[in-house]
Amino acid sequence: MNFSNKKINQSILLISIDHPRLDASSTPDFKEYFSNVVKSQFSKVVLDLSSVKFMDSSGLGALIFCLKNMVVNGEIVIVGAQANVLGLFTLTRMDRLFTHYGELSDVLAEIA
């Protein structure tokens, strides 16, 4: 699994999933990576999903798990989700828990 991260500022971390699938086979690695890089240091994570073509309920479960294990009032926003992936977020109303932005520049503009 390929993940990368970039610190945006003291409290915001950008994590990119450079893998086409976020499902049962890749979620254990993702959860481990997420907790290792986010720790209690960052209160907001911008998650770049633009390379993810397929995400299932396990993938969504992993995001929820990560969010619940962040610091109090922690937040995860998603960027660049493809149609299939976005469909899962709307079906489950998880788009209300994870705000979606089309482009990374949109998020950065809002944060800055």
Residues that bind other proteins (CB under 8 A): 20, 24, 27, 31, 53-54, 56-58, 60-62, 64-65, 68, 84, 90-94, 97
Which ranges in the chain belong to alpha helices (H)?
27-38, 57-68, 83-91, 104-111
Query: Shortest Cβ distance from residue 40 to other proteins (Å)?
Result: 16
Query: Shortest Cβ distance from residue 24 to other proteins (Å)?
Result: 6
| Sign for the pseudo-dihedral over CA of 16, 26, 98, 81 | positive
Query: Shortest Cβ distance from residue 20 to other proteins (Å)?
Result: 7
Asked if 48 and 14 touch (Cβ cutoff 8 Å), the reply is yes
Q: How many residues does the chain have?
A: 112
Q: Among residues 71 and 108, whose Cβ is nearest to other proteins?
A: 71
Q: Among residues 7 and 28, whose Cβ is nearest to other proteins?
A: 28
Beta bridge partners of 14: 6, 46
Q: Among residues 12 and 15, whose Cβ is nearest to other proteins?
A: 15
Residue 44 has, within 13 A of its CA and on its CB side, a CA count of 12
Query: Shortest Cβ distance from residue 4 to other proteins (Å)?
Result: 22
